[in-house]
Amino acid sequence: MTEIALSPWVAVPATVLLVSGGLLTLVGSLGLLRLKGFYARMHSPTMGATLGTGCVLVASMLVSSAVAHRAVIHELLIAAFLTMTAPITAILLMRAARSRTKPE
């Protein structure tokens, strides 16, 4: 795709991380489709949100650092943001589901 030749020390870990991140996210989303009940479905997409995102972000950091010939770590911004915001949505959604299924 580009003429920059990446060394195997970058390309092979990035390949492994990309493939595993893609498969993890796929399995998490399959669980979102297949599991029965909201509380069971609640936990499966978090696999893509944590492990899949982590794998893809580390692969992106590796490749962009190798392309730019310096340490490029701005992907940590997405990682920190997602780490902070994913539990907030999960907690709000879980409380909404509890208050909607059990009216008192």
Partner 1 sequence: MNELLDHAAGFAALCFMVAMAFALARLFRGPRAQDRVLAFDALYITGMLTLLTLGIRARSTVYFDMALLIGLFGFVGSTALAKFLLRGEVIEP
For partner 1, the binding residues (CB under 8 A) are 1-2, 4-8, 11-12, 14-15, 18-19, 21-23, 25-26, 28-30, 32-33, 38, 41-42, 45, 48-49, 52-53, 56-57, 59-60, 63-64, 67, 72, 74-75, 77-78, 81-82, 85, 88-89, 92-93, 95-97, 99-100
The conformation of residue 27, written as its DSSP 8-state character, comes to H
Q: Least Å distance between CB 18 and partner 1?
A: 4
Q: Least Å distance between CB 16 and partner 1?
A: 8
Give the angle 81-84-90 at the CA atoms, nearest 5°. Answer: 120
Q: Least Å distance between CB 29 and partner 1?
A: 4
Which one, 7 or 71, has the nearer CB to partner 1? 7
Closest CA to 53 of 91, 85, 6: 85
Residue with tokens 């949505």: 89
- Cα(47)–Cα(65) distance, rounded to whole angstroms? 26
